[in-house]
Amino acid sequence: MQSNNRDGNVVRTMVPKENGVFLTWEDLWVTVTNGKEGRKSILEGVTGYAQPGELLAIMGPSGCGKSTLLDALAGRSGSNTRQSGEILINGLKQKLGFGTSAYVTQDDTLMTTLTVREAMYYSAQLQLPDSMSKSKKKEIADITIKEMGLEDAMNTRIGGPGAKGLSSGQKRRVSICIEILTRPKLLFLDEPTSGLDSAASYYVMSRIASLHKRDGIRRTIIASIHQPSSEVFQIFHNLCLLSSGRTVYFGPASTATEFFTTNGFPCPTLQNPSDHFLKTINKDFGKDLEQGLDGGIPTEEAINSLTRSYKSSEIYQQVRRQVSEICKQDWGALEKKRNHAGFVIQCLVLTRRSFVNMYRDIGYYWLRLAIYVALAIGLATVFYDVGSSYAYASIQVRGSLIMFITAFLTFMTIGGFPSFVEDMKVCFVCRLSIDLLFFEASINLFLCTLILLTSFNMHLD
């Protein structure tokens, strides 16, 4: 079959079907409800493909549909969206099963009190099957940590607001580590360099692009990225440029500059190509009046010109031929959904992880415990020696004591709600990744809360 190399030349290669996942999409439209105005188009007839062993970057200004395209390809579109067109996996209409694909979200949803090693171990126990021994799971977790260059931070707590820990780049790598534990053949990343400096962005992306050198898997990688540096841009094999949901360019990243130059928008010397592309197709600020950009041509005009040129170019015809040829090949169906931890193991692991998190969270456990002890001493002092008779005054005092204890217990329980919300965020990400049921996550939180309330009552007694 035909494929593009890094120099933009067309070569004929044949990838064994067991070595990767081919993903194609043709004439893909995605619309969302827009209140009284009806429906709004987010993606308008986009076409493209992703191949094993290559990194496809989806770029464009904010609101152009990058994350929407990524969600549609990963099968994560929201309930308020409606899509049409054809998305094929290995030339067939089939769903992505657990273990075949992984999705790294834009936000790093991690438990701040856990170390890198602990976060990976708990994830390994949840994602890997029960038939695998604990020692083997730990070995896989350790290998994955080393693959992303985190061996020096294995025993460092992840950290968060008010607690020092890992840097932003290291947290991003931990999130990627958790998702690639099952060695997926298809990896989606939603703005993996968001919030990172240029050095950290390059290190993260280079690690992602070179994963196949460490585990031998010809992985298909699709990443939405906002504004990469020139070093990061050189890592990309293929580039998809979007503007207002329309495809401005799709093809080898190395020939994108030539496409813009041919259509009257040359990249200035010594300027980052990605900066030039985004500045040219970003219509949020009307006209670009800088010198050298065709005398301040309206951005809407520039986008329409580039879109028309792309649709009539040989590059677009080549993309369509490539999509057609991939669909014609008999790549076979994906492997069946891999096994992960069963219901009982998930409940036990989640309960233990949540209890460790609560135990280490000073505000959740120890501060509340100190407040309970102080309240117990204060109430005991105020209601000391209320008498043992059955007089009306004695009964009334005991009723007041019960009222105060109940009120304080209720208020302190509400105080732990922020930690509960953070815990549920992590469980929600797990639910998307390994089909973790909400019921199982609720059980572990209930058990942890029950243990904590029992210990508090013992202190009160």
Q: Of 41-45, 118-122, 247-251, 343-347, which gets the smallest average pLDDT? A: 343-347
> Residue 337 carries which side chain, given as an amino acid letter?
K
- The pLDDT of residue 427 is 65
Task: Identify the pLDDT of residue 8.
Answer: 45
Contact assessment for residue 7 and residue 75, using Cβ atoms and an 8 Å cutoff: no
Segment 341-366, tens digit of pLDDT = 777 787 788 788 888 887 888 777 78
Rounded to whole angstroms, the Cα distance separating 141 from 115 reads 13
Q: Where are the alpha helices (DSSP H) in 190-255?
A: 198-209, 212-215, 230-233
Q: What pLDDT sits at residue 23?
A: 93
Q: ∠ CA 106-110-116 to the nearest 5 degrees? A: 115
Domain boundaries, the chain: 2-99+184-328, 101-179, 343-460
- The span from the CA of 336 to the CA of 328, in Å, is 22
pLDDT digit string, tens, across residues 353-404: 888 887 888 777 788 788 888 888 888 888 887 777 677 777 888 888 888 8
458 contact partners, CB below 8 Å, separation of at least 6: none
100, 180 Cβ separation under 8 angstroms: no
- Of 31, 23, 77, the C-alpha closest to 48 is 23
Pick the residue with more confidence: 200 or 337? 200
User: Could you tell me which of 242, 233, 253, 441 has the C-alpha nearest to residue 349?
Assistant: 441
Report the topology of domain 2-99+184-328: Rossmann fold (3.40.50)
Please give the pLDDT value at position 461.
46
Using one digit for the tens of pLDDT, what is the confidence trace for 423-436? 666 766 665 555 54
Instruction: Provide the 3-class DSSP secondary structure of residue 318.
Output: helix
Confidence of residue 334 (pLDDT cuts 50, 70, 90): low
